[in-house]
Amino acid sequence: MKDLHAKREAVRHPVAEMYAREHAARKLDRREFLTRATALGLAVPAAYGLLGLAAPEASAQEPQMGGTLRMQMAIKAQRDPRTWDWSELANACRGWLEYLVDYQRDGSLQPVLLESWEASDDATTYTLHVRPGVTWNNGDAFTASDVAHNIERWCDASVEGNSMASRMGSLMEDDALRDGAVEVVDDLTVRLNLSSPDIALIVSMADYPAAIVHPSFTGDDPVANPIGTGPYLPVSYDPGIGAVVERNTDHTWWNEGNGAYLDRIEFIDLGTDPASWIAAAEAGEIDLNYQAQGDIIDIFDAIGYPRSEAVTAATIAVRFNQDNEPYDNKDVRLALQKAVNNAIVLELGYNDLGTVAENHHVCPIHPEYAELPPIESDASAAMARLEEAGHAETEFELISIDEPWQAETCDAVAAQMRDAGINISRTILPGATFWNDWTKYPFSATEWNMRPLGVQVLNLAYRTGGPWNETAFSNEEFDSLLDEANGIADADARSEVMARIETIMQEEGVLIQPYWRSIFRNAAENVHGAEMHPTFVVDYVKYWKS
Amino acid sequence: MLLFLLRRIGLMLVTALCLTFVVFALTNMPAKLETLAKTQAGSRMSDAEVASWLDRNGYGEPLVMRYGEWLGVWPGWVREDEDGTVTGRCVTLRDTPEAAGERCGLLQGDWGFSTRFRADVADVITARLGATGLLMMWVLIVMVPMALIVGVLAGMREGSRTDRTLSTFAIASTATPEYVSGVLFIALLASSTVGISPILAEWGWIDGRVLFQGNARSAMDNITLSNFTLPVLTIALYGMGYVARITRASMTEVMTQQYIRTARLKGVSFSKIVLRHALRNALIAPFTVIMLQIPWLLNGVVISEVLFSYPGFGWTLYEAAVNNDIELLLASSVVAVVVVLVTQLISDIGYVYLNPRIRIS
Amino acid sequence: MDPLNWFEILARMAQQFLPVWVALVVTYALSIRFKRRLGLYGKLFDSTVGMIGFGIVMFWLFTALFADIVITHDALSQVSGMRNEPPGAALRDPGDLYPYYLLGGDSLARDVFSRMVMGAREVLRIAPFAAMISFMIGITLGLPAGYFGGKLDTGLTFLANLVLAFPVILLFFLLVAPEIQETIIPSVMAGVLFLVPIVFVTILLNARFFTQPAKRNLYVGGVLLVGVWAYTGLVFDADPAGFWSMSPNLLNVFVAVVFVNAPTVFRIVRGITLDIKTRDYVAAAQTRGEGPWYIMLWEILPNARGPLIVDFCLRIGYTTILLGTLGFFGLGVSPESPDWGSTINAGRRLLTVYPHPALVPAIALMSLVLGLNLLADGLREESLKD
């Protein structure tokens, strides 16, 4: 029955079928295939069905009910979900605020409050099928109008810090939802009419600020009035100290039996200093950490908290701002780039826990990645080029935030430039002040989280006038190629355009992007289902303890 | 005496007023406000969004007026949106729109709202002060007897081998700041891979993985020897050396006094002289110093609470400073000033009571 | 190559410190030979405690001076493969570098030993100068406050108590922040604080030599020339010769540390002045018709030198601790700087597994502060014998 359903859906979507053929021809790896096919509307079992594989069982072991899980995680002051800027804010609320779709560890999209969705062949019309039988924990039924209400919220750019607005551009007009962009067809169906093709729309709905809130939510604090569809409820929430979440016994969760194993989850905020996380682990006060970095991973390993890894397209962009002297000079940028060997930065700055990147911010795990010839560093050529540009004596200043791995990466970058004879100094700013001017620093490093598609970050960060364009990069050819890529659903065709886009990025010396980071979490051996997620999702609804 | 007290309290108020204004001015600089807006409403906001957020939340008014609002001598800011919802300082604090336009500051008993902890400042401060009170109590219980014993033993026989050893120990302890000793203690006693814990665990002398815990978060619910020893020891050690040295100096001075010599000539036993005659007089100076040490320990409290992540007053001060939580910082500085000045007052009064030769004119 | 054992590490370290040993031996030989002619400094060599303290302090001072010869590697350069290596580890491919990391590598594969040595230079570059400026300010304000009394005294004492009532850490968080650096506050504060030493020396010389205008003009002119030159460089970063300059970061730290220290010195000086001004020799000078500044600077100050010198030593130690505190909260000087506070803070993260990068600077800092305290103790003992 399941197979039949899968085949029917597959027939309905020609592009997805083509993806399956590509996969068979080994052009696509499995993660790419899953991201691309599921983004276009295939259910995961269906997508696996196209590959001729059985969908993997969630876990070989039968999950055990009950228990309390204690996790180290920063607890920050809550605010309106669409303005969330930290995954931690979303993670704490995942027990009662659910999403339309979830991005899975394997790169696939899992329908949650949607049962399924379909996209038109040119990715300009989406039909969303709302999951029947879902209720809010106040007894209201969850319907298509709730979905429409949330999309309207996301499109309201007049709310300061609403980051969903930047993801919903194709549904918006004049900083608000465009008339006719969302149609409520019936109680369980919503149709979205896009103004331009957007292959990333559904993927964006899996991002952490896209939590689905009740129509009565006033946009203040999702903990104070926790109406949601999920199986848990918050018990306490103290920023800087911790939060406690317990199973909601008065509510029938739509997915009863497939999650909500734990009775109680305690988040403990131990500050930003990993030394105190280790101290807490050694004292047996936490079961798992949120994220471990560098040598800390080894230490946790050594004290009996084995690691789990997620390979990601998260990275650090050591970027130049072209509005500032001397970085408006392309030769200076290219010379500085040339002085840095990305592999050594990866070793010294990030313990070799990732893969070397190629200064263009498109990752091999992105579906549209195109391979370019390897880049080579050359210290003497770099210095020669800098001398030619008349900046041999200039003192450069590299700014970074005080987060250890970022500071260490920048120290490693600076050390290499220094070895090449370049005069460079370092500045480290505390987290609270770094973000004040992050788009304006002449030469600084910014952390970028992973986005499932390669075009997503390019749209945000490198397009002329893009909302988060910190490089002041402005290139007409690049912009028009990016527009073109945004409308190509076929990965191979898109990757041809991408090859040119990536080349422009390299030729223009936009940034030094040393590596793609793998991210890690350490958990005690009796914690299950809590492996690290590439976008830092802590879906504790699925965690259990033996 | 009453006049003296009144004058001191008056001075205290003026000092607190000056200090809070300085703190207020420094935390309300444009760059700091921008930081606040970004930590409150999204770190990657644009400048226009920041300006609009600041304006909507009452940060747009002139500095002096807002200081007046905080003090409660000026009515709180009020703002009416297009759709008729009223927001304002007193609306948030009193949780009712009717309060708009009233005065709601320190004078009315409203300490303000903590942007970091999303709670009333008064609640945050009382809870955290309680936690620090416990910590300080144990620090004093450990520090004072230790310091007095070391000081008295060293000062009993000036220049002896005991004196040299103990004095050097006291000097070494004042030369070890909290961030050094805390780090040493954790490496030595609270690590399951280095120090003595792995050895003890192997011998089966301790049940858990470590001898002491390097994290005092669990001490919030339940103070145990294992989770509270290291923070207490870290603070006590640094303060101890100084008090011990004062005690020693005071003791050596007393031991050369006429009446001690007389007692010795009369053949009273040495231990009796020390306990009966010398101690009372030798403890006057250390008493005042111990009182003056208390505000001094505040530094150590901040370092140690941050190091061991124990959410007390010091930790709150640190969090408030890092996150530019204006009203919490102001309340913290008021508390700090009061602690400093009250301990000074107690030390002055205590000095008078203990030392009959001084009278307040 | 095999890693070194502890005996070899110590031997090689001793060898690196050779110039320091030579300088120490010369200092001690000369000092002990001529100690009867050297006043209080000479008497120091009668006290064992004082001699030990002096030895430790001079060890770090000479280390800071000869740091360029003592280090085995550059304090900032990273060598591939040396991350968190234990003490005595051999370089994978030394080339013409020193073949070992004597005290191991830190989390960025830099040499812990060389960083510790360069750290001494960083610390000793700031701490004594900050203490000195604090002293000049404390003296310039404390002497008249104690000597004249009255409204001046009340006002200054109130200001000093105001600063002292501030928790030091809160003050640091408010003053040493990147946002503050961009404003004019540090420059203004530096402008006021650095003006005081110039005024101090000018008044000092003027009070002494105003009867001999030629000599006075020469001295005061010279002082003003050098003072204003240094002042423009340090405060406005506008020294045409580029000799005096301070990064905004460092200036900020310096100003904050001076600001915290000066009121304490003020209180001490004021207390001593109140005591000394009742002495007969002050009354004698008053009847001689000497001006108040002459009495303060040339009668009272020299007689207060004992306790002030002792406090000066203690204050350098305290300043070192304060700088470390700044580093501990990430407020310190430049991020890659090898100064001990920042290094301890950086090493703290991996303390439970790789203790050496944090322990080495921690012990260095402790020993320097201990040395200063012992030296102060020795000086106090000897000056009391007067």
Q: Could you give the number of structural domains in chain B?
A: 1
CA-CA distance, B151 to A36, in Å (whole number)? Answer: 75
Token pair, residue A262, equals 């734990």
- Minimum-distance CB partner of B177 among C325, C329, C374: C325
For residue B260, give the CATH number of its domain: 1.10.3720.10
**Is C363 within 8 Å of C42 (Cβ atoms)?**
no
The single residue listed with the structure tokens 């990993």 is: A274
Which of B35, B214, B302 shows the shortest C-beta gap to C169? B302
Chains touching chain A, criterion 3+ CB pairs below 8 Å = B, C
ipTM score here?
Answer: 0.84
Distance from CA of C370 to the nearest CA of B (A): 5
Are the beta carbons of B210 and A283 separated by less than 8 Å? yes
Residue C259 touches partner A, C-beta closer than 8 Å: no
pLDDT the model gives residue A18: 57
Chain A residues whose beta carbon lies within 8 Å of the beta carbon of residue B42: 83, 85, 160-163
- With a CB-CB cutoff of 8 Å, which residues 7-36 of chain B face chain C? 11, 14-15, 18-19, 22-23, 26-27, 29, 31-32, 35
The candidate with the shortest Cα–Cα distance to C255, out of C328, C354, C176, C169, is: C176
Q: Are A295 and C179 in contact (CB < 8 Å)? A: no
Residue A49 has pLDDT above 60, yes or no: no
Q: Dihedral, CA atoms, A336, A342, A345, A350, nearest 10 degrees?
A: 140
Contacts of B227 in chain A (CB under 8 A): 283
Report how far residue A382's alpha carbon sits from residue A379's, in angstroms, rounded to the nearest whole number. Answer: 5
In a domain, B233, yes or no: yes
- pLDDT at position C114, please? 93
Instruction: Indicate yes or no: CB of B321 within 8 angstroms of CB of C174.
Output: yes
pLDDT (tens digit per residue) in B268-302: 888 888 877 788 777 777 777 777 777 777 888 89
Residue ranges of chain C whose CB lies within 8 Å of a chain B CB = 49, 158, 161-162, 164-170, 173-175, 177, 179-180, 182-183, 317, 321, 324-325, 328-329, 341, 344-345, 348, 351-353, 355, 358-359, 362, 365-366, 369-370, 372-374, 377
Characterise A257 by phi-psi region: left (phi > 0), alpha (psi -120 to 50), beta (else): left
In single-letter form, the type of residue at position B91 comes to V
Please answer yes or no on whether B179 and C328 come within 8 Å at the CB atom. yes
Dump pLDDT digits (tens) for B295-329.
777 888 898 998 888 889 999 998 888 888 888 98
**What is the predicted pLDDT for the residue at B89?**
79
Q: What are phi and psi of A130, to 5 degrees?
A: -75, 140
| Cβ-Cβ contacts under 8 Å for B315 (sequence gap 6 or more) | B128, B302, B305, B306, B309
SS3 call for A27: coil
* pLDDT value, residue A141: 92
Mean pLDDT of A452-460: 86
Q: Is A17 exposed, middle or buried (0-12, 13-18, 19+ CB in 10 A)?
A: middle
pLDDT at A7 > cutoff 50: no
How far apart, in Å, are the Cα atoms of A377 and each of A340, A342, A482, A514, C365?
Answer: 6, 8, 28, 12, 40
Give the count of alpha carbons within 13 A of B142, CB side only.
20
DSSP secondary structure string for all residues of A459-507: HHHTSTT-TT--S----HHHHHHHHHHHT---HHHHHHHHHHHHHHHHH
Q: Is residue A257's pLDDT more than 70? A: yes
Query: Measured between alpha carbons, how far is C306 from C39 in angstroms, rounded to an integer?
Result: 12
Instruction: Name beta bridge partners: A141.
Output: A135
Residue pair B157/B151 in contact by the 8 Å Cβ criterion: no
The DSSP secondary-structure symbol of A168 reads -
Strand order in the sheet with A125-130: A114-119, A125-130, A189-193, A182-186
Count Cβ atoms below 10 Å from residue A387 Cβ, excluding itself: 13
Find the residue in A nearest to C106 (Cα).
A348
**Min Cα–Cα distance to chain A from C201, Å:** 36
Strand-pair category, A68-72 with A101-103: unpaired
User: SS in 3 state form for A74-118?
Assistant: CCCCCCCHHHCCCHHHHHHHCCCCCCCEEECCCCCEEECCEEEEE
**Is B181 inside any structural domain?**
yes
* Confidence band of A392 (pLDDT split at 50, 70, 90): confident
Best residue in C179, C318, C377 for a mutation probing chain B (most B CBs within 10 Å):
C179
How far apart are alpha carbons A254 and C113 in whole angstroms?
62
Q: Write down the H helix ranges in C295-338.
A: 301-303, 305-328
Of A347, A419, A428, the CB nearest to C335: A428
- A498-508 average pLDDT score: 92
pLDDT at C386: 57
Note the pLDDT of residue A322: 92
Query: Which positions in chain B touch C372 (Cβ < 8 Å)?
Result: 175
- Cβ contact (<8 Å) for C334 and A427? yes
Residues 64-103 of C with CB under 8 A from A: 76-78, 80, 83-84
pLDDT, residue A1, reads 35
User: Which residues are within 8 A (CB) of B333 and not within 5 positions of it... i.e. 6 or more apart?
Assistant: B19, B20, B23, C166, C167, C170
Average pLDDT over chain A, rounded to an integer: 85
Q: Which residue has the tokens 């968190």?
A: C84
Q: Which amino acid is located at C156 in the chain?
A: L
Neighbours of chain B (3+ CB pairs under 8 A): A, C
Domains of chain A: 311-518 (3.10.105.10)
The answer on pLDDT for B53 being more than 80 is: yes
Q: Which of the residues A273, A278, A346, A348 would you substitute to probe the C interface, choosing the one with the greatest number of C C-beta atoms within 10 Å?
A: A348
B184: in domain: yes
| 3-class secondary structure per residue, chain B | CHHHHHHHHHHHHHHHHHHHHHHHHHHCCHHHHHHHHHHHHCCCCCHHHHHHHHHHCCCCCCHHHHHHHHHCCCCCCEEECCCCCEEEHHHHHHCCHHHCCCCCCHHHCCCCEECCCCEEHHHHHHHHHHHHHHHHHHHHHHHHHHHHHHHHHHHHCCCCHHHHHHHHHHHHHHCCCHHHHHHHHHHHHCCCCCCCHHHHHHHCCCCCCCCCCCCCHHHHCCCCHHHHHHHHHHHHHHHHHHHHHHHHHHHHHHHCCHHHHHHHHCCCCHHHHHHHHHHHHHCHHHHHHHHHHHHHHHHHHHHHHHHCCCCCHHHHHHHHHHCCCHHHHHHHHHHHHHHHHHHHHHHHHHHHHHCCCCCCC
Question: pLDDT value at position B340?
Answer: 82
Closest chain C C-alpha to B28 CA, distance in angstroms: 11
Q: Is the dihedral of CA B165, B168, B174, B175 positive or negative?
A: negative
Does the distance separating the beta carbons of A273 and C76 come in below 8 Å?
A: no
Confidence of residue A8 (pLDDT cuts 50, 70, 90): very low
Answer yes or no: is pLDDT of B258 > 80.
yes
Determine whether C241 is exposed, middle or buried from the number of CB atoms within 10 Å of its CB (0-12, 13-18, 19+).
Answer: exposed
Q: C-alpha distances in angstroms, B87 versus A97, A400, B92, B237? A: 27, 38, 7, 50
Q: Which domain holds residue B302?
A: 121-354
* pLDDT (average), residues B202-211: 77
The minimum CA-CA distance between B218 and chain A, rounded to whole Å, is: 8
Question: A458-472: per-residue pLDDT in tens?
Answer: 988 898 877 788 999
C345 CA to chain A: closest CA distance, Å?
A: 10
How is residue A268 annotated by DSSP? E
Residue A25, pLDDT score: 53
pTM metric for this prediction: 0.81
Q: What is the pLDDT of residues A280-319, one digit of tens each?
A: 888 888 999 999 887 788 888 888 899 999 888 889 999 9
Interface contact C349, partner A, CB < 8 A: yes
Pairing of strands A189-193, A101-103: unpaired
User: CB–CB of B299 and C351 under 8 A?
Assistant: no
CA distance A460 to chain B (A): 12
Q: Which of A161, A271, A302 sits opposite B42 (nearest CB)?
A: A161
Q: What pLDDT score was predicted for residue A53? A: 47
Query: Touching check for C125 and chain A: CB below 8 Å?
Result: no
User: What are the chain A neighbours of B26 within 8 Å (beta carbons)?
Assistant: none
Q: How far is CA A225 from CA A105, B248, C167, in A?
A: 30, 61, 39
Q: Is B69 contained in some domain?
A: no
A273 contacts in chain C (CB < 8 Å) = 348-349
With CB atoms and an 8 Å threshold, state whether A275 touches C348.
yes
Distance of residue A539 Cα from the nearest chain B Cα, in angstroms: 23
CA distance B309 to B218: 10
**Contact state of A344 with C349 under an 8 Å Cβ cutoff:** no
Is B331 among the domain residues? yes
Q: What is the pLDDT at residue A3?
A: 38
The DSSP H or E segment spanning A266 is strand A264-268
Q: Which residue has the higher pLDDT, C330 or A159?
A: A159
Cα–Cα separations (whole angstroms), residue A358 to A340, A372, A409, A452: 11, 9, 16, 18
CB contact under 8 Å between A435 and B38, yes or no, is yes
More confident residue, C238 or A171: A171
Question: Which of B309, B310, B327 would best serve as a mutation to test chain A binding (most A beta carbons within 10 A)?
Answer: B309
Count CB pairs under 8 A between chains A and C: 70
Mean pLDDT by 10 residues, chain C (386 residues): 86 93 93 82 83 93 92 82 83 81 85 92 89 92 90 90 84 82 83 87 86 86 87 78 75 88 90 87 88 87 85 90 85 74 82 83 90 88 72
- Read off the DSSP letter of residue A511: E
Q: Is the pLDDT of residue A71 over 90?
A: yes
Structural tokens at position A355: 């893969």
In chain A, pLDDT over 70 holds for what percent of residues? 88
Q: Check CB contact under 8 Å for B217 and A268.
A: yes
pLDDT band at A182 (very low <50, low <70, confident <90, very high): very high
Secondary structure of residue C209 in the 3-state scheme: helix
- Between chain A and chain B, how many beta carbons pairs sit less than 8 Å apart? 111
Cβ distance B31 to A433 less than 8 Å, yes or no, reads yes
Q: Which of A524, A519, A478 is nearest to A497 (CA)?
A: A478
**Average pLDDT value over all residues in chain B:** 83
pLDDT value of position A5: 39
In angstroms, rounded to a whole number, what is the distance separating the alpha carbons of residues A233 and A225?
A: 10
Record: contact A285-B213, CB cut-off 8 A: yes
pLDDT (0 to 100) of residue C11 = 93
d(CA A318, CA C334): 19
Phi, psi of C100 (to 5 degrees): -130, 155
- Report which residue type is found at A244: V
A274–C352 CB contact, under 8 Å: no
B338 pLDDT higher than 80: yes
Helices (H) and strands (E) in chain A, counts: 17, 21
Q: How far is C154 from chain B (nearest CA, A)?
A: 12
On whether the CB atoms of residues A275 and C351 are closer than 8 A, the answer is: yes
